A and B are shown apart, each in its own frame.
Chain A
């Protein structure tokens, strides 16, 4: 029996004349590595922000890990891990201090050991005492990745997590994500890098101009000998022509 960890019903976000997300219905099952795919500006980041209570939807409801997001946004953020669209760790804290800070807010008792593990794992031990403002974008992204998973949440919502990583680090992170799922956790990943989605995602949805065009399983596409990028392009370009 499957259990849904994310459930969105009629979720909508309007900014003035722009409908960023248009009455989206979505379910993510426990243990899925769910990829929300879409071109730039399709509403992927807005979806993550609504699902984590960072912004309020104009209409609709969402439940994450059994919590109503609008009713209890802090409760949701306590239980999930988030990598935001922009990597913005506090400028005047060092990488170590930022993870200590996250640990203190999230009340993680063994934060020192966990932080040390992440510095080793993502290979940025040499930058751990450098101010966040002086870190490269790639290192900031490593730090944001570490803060999202440092409390081993049952669900992580991650926005373009690989975008600033070099190929070696992309490989390390992709391995980490697939193992994380094998351990019984769930990941909601937003990306426009289709190769990555095809390689690691179990389920996917294609979002275009705020509308869900398709939801399905990557395995079903593979069974039909179709590639995700062809499928995506057909769907999005077809929709664009319409």
Chain B
């Protein structure tokens, strides 16, 4: 029975190496190691301005989110893969033709993900920190503890998403009730203790104060989530067919001002029906930005009065550019292979849809400017945010075409991206700190944005598209 586990590990590797290239993907843990090693030397400096507890909170939150995302991919995997590679089939689905129970397959899937992502994400980070620790006066036990608690955070996220999806498949009201109880519990905890409820996240508690009790608490929570998921896991689908009213015609009509209304309408319907719109806005946009705002606000004493807001607008712009991923997640050019649609037309349509989505960051930055009492800098902040977002989009299109997820694991592409974006962010930060209204000149970024996008059109028009 060990064969299934080995085959699943191979499959995971091949999914990634097919998407991102074997060498580039193999270099990814080395990049994480290097960032962790070099980043560790910044810790003594960061400690002067940031409470170390907040740093560990963010690190654990990131690994929790990673677990969520990996778990969600496991559930949505076949759909995403079908769009990416044509008729792809994952072992977790195809093994149903073998004499194996669904629960056995599911258990293998969780163990495989845990080990695989431990090697990919946790181990390199812990090793980098471990090797740097003698130079920054950190006890060697700390990186070891961190590797344990980050693994537990990842597992927590993975099992939580399985748990919630298993509940969802059984009863939607039950899921709503559980989420409601969690929110009330967090609020009560914050009220009674006066502490950030995130500090009671078991792996973080373990990191902050190692004790066998905390370790057992973390393990029990994970095992409980996992066991309940397996117990209530129902492989049988309901069998009822869902029918949908025609949305394409009215949405296409509403988007008639777009260059290719049916393509834009399809993008919006994809996002809406896949449940991506709200989930993505919340998990990929609002929550990370709230965390970033919190951290930037800690730098208030070190930056000019307008600095935090404008720096935040810059970061929001970078994160807003990832909305392009939302539009390409379920789509490849292969789906259009039998229609008279060119790659250029398709990417242009994605840009148009992306432009509509930019209302979200624009409104978000405007709200933050208003709430933080810096309404006078609202216009520079929005201009910076949108200019950076479109510039990053141009670079992303040039580097990745219709597969922006390549950015995550292809080291060569990622380094080019980081350099091109880094230069702009540093320059713009300097201008914004010196004179906020001069930063209105950020609109000039639309020129390289168009330049890179055009390079991308030519590059991806000439390349053979996956899925064909």
Residues of A whose CB lies within 8 Å of any CB of B are 49, 52, 54-56, 73-75, 77-78, 81-84, 86, 88-94, 96-97, 100-102, 104-106, 127, 129-131, 133-134, 144, 147-148
Output the nearest chain B residue to A96 by Cβ-Cβ distance. Answer: B246
Q: Is the CB of B248 within 8 A of A54?
A: no
Residues of A within 8 A of B244 (CB): 94, 97, 129-131
Q: Is the CB of A77 within 8 A of B266?
A: no
Q: Is the CB of B82 within 8 A of A82?
A: no
Q: Is the CB of A55 within 8 A of B248?
A: no
Residues of A within 8 A of B274 (CB): 91-92
A106 and B82 in contact (CB under 8 A), knowing A90-B270, A129-B243?
no
CA distance A239 to B274 in the complex (A): 50
Output the nearest chain B residue to A76 by Cβ-Cβ distance. Answer: B340
Q: Chain B nearest CB: distance from A22 CB in Å?
A: 19
Q: Is the CB of A56 within 8 A of B262?
A: no
CA distance A93 to B262 in the complex (A): 12
Q: Is the CB of A54 within 8 A of B242?
A: no
Other than the known A91-B330, A104-B252, A105-B263, what 20 A-B pairs have Cβ atoms closer than 8 Å? A49-B337, A52-B337, A54-B468, A55-B464, A73-B342, A81-B338, A82-B338, A88-B86, A88-B467, A90-B331, A92-B270, A94-B243, A97-B248, A100-B252, A100-B262, A101-B262, A104-B261, A127-B241, A129-B245, A130-B242
Q: Chain A nearest CB: distance from B255 CB in Å?
A: 11
Instruction: Pick from A83, A105, A131: contact of B341, CB below 8 A.
Output: A105
Q: Does B249 contact A (CB under 8 A)?
A: yes
Residues of B within 8 A of A127 (CB): 241
Q: Is the CB of B266 within 8 A of A90?
A: yes
Q: Does B273 contact A (CB under 8 A)?
A: yes
CA distance A90 to B271 in the complex (A): 12
Instruction: Pick from B246, B261, B340: contact of A94, CB below 8 A.
Output: B246
Q: Does B372 contact A (CB under 8 A)?
A: no
B residues 80-107 in Cβ contact with A at 8 Å: 82-83, 86-87
Output the nearest chain A residue to B344 by Cβ-Cβ distance. Answer: A74
Residues of B whose CB lies within 8 Å of any CB of A are 79, 82-83, 86-87, 241-249, 252, 260-263, 266, 269-270, 273-274, 330-331, 334-335, 337-342, 464, 467-468
Most A-side CB within 10 Å, residue of B331, B335, B340, B341: B340
11 A/B residue pairs, CB under 8 Å, sorted by A: A73-B342, A88-B83, A88-B335, A92-B274, A100-B246, A101-B248, A101-B262, A104-B248, A105-B260, A130-B241, A144-B338
A102 and B339 in contact (CB under 8 A), knowing A94-B246, A97-B247?
yes
Output the nearest chain B residue to A89 by Cβ-Cβ distance. Answer: B335
Q: Pick the 9 closest A-B CB pairs, nearest first.
A: A104-B262, A82-B338, A97-B248, A78-B340, A77-B340, A92-B273, A129-B243, A92-B270, A86-B86
Output the nearest chain B residue to A102 by Cβ-Cβ distance. Answer: B339
Q: Is the CB of A88 within 8 A of B82?
A: yes
Q: Is the CB of B252 within 8 A of A105?
A: no
Output the nearest chain B residue to A137 by Cβ-Cβ distance. Answer: B87
Residues of A within 8 A of B83 (CB): 88, 91
Residues of A within 8 A of B273 (CB): 92, 131
Output the nearest chain A residue to B83 by Cβ-Cβ distance. Answer: A91
The majority secondary structure among interface residues of chain B is loop
Residues of A within 8 A of B245 (CB): 129
CA distance A81 to B338 in the complex (A): 7
Q: Is the CB of A88 within 8 A of B334?
A: yes
Residues of B within 8 A of A130 (CB): 241-244
CA distance A75 to B331 in the complex (A): 23
Q: Is the CB of B468 within 8 A of A134?
A: no
CA distance A86 to B263 in the complex (A): 21
CA distance A96 to B273 in the complex (A): 15
CA distance A97 to B247 in the complex (A): 7
Q: Chain A nearest CB: distance from B352 CB in Å?
A: 15
Q: Is the CB of A105 within 8 A of B339?
A: yes
CA distance A78 to B240 in the complex (A): 38
CA distance A77 to B337 in the complex (A): 9
Output the nearest chain B residue to A74 by Cβ-Cβ distance. Answer: B340
Output the nearest chain A residue to B271 by Cβ-Cβ distance. Answer: A92
Residues of B within 8 A of A92 (CB): 269-270, 273-274, 330
CA distance A84 to B249 in the complex (A): 25
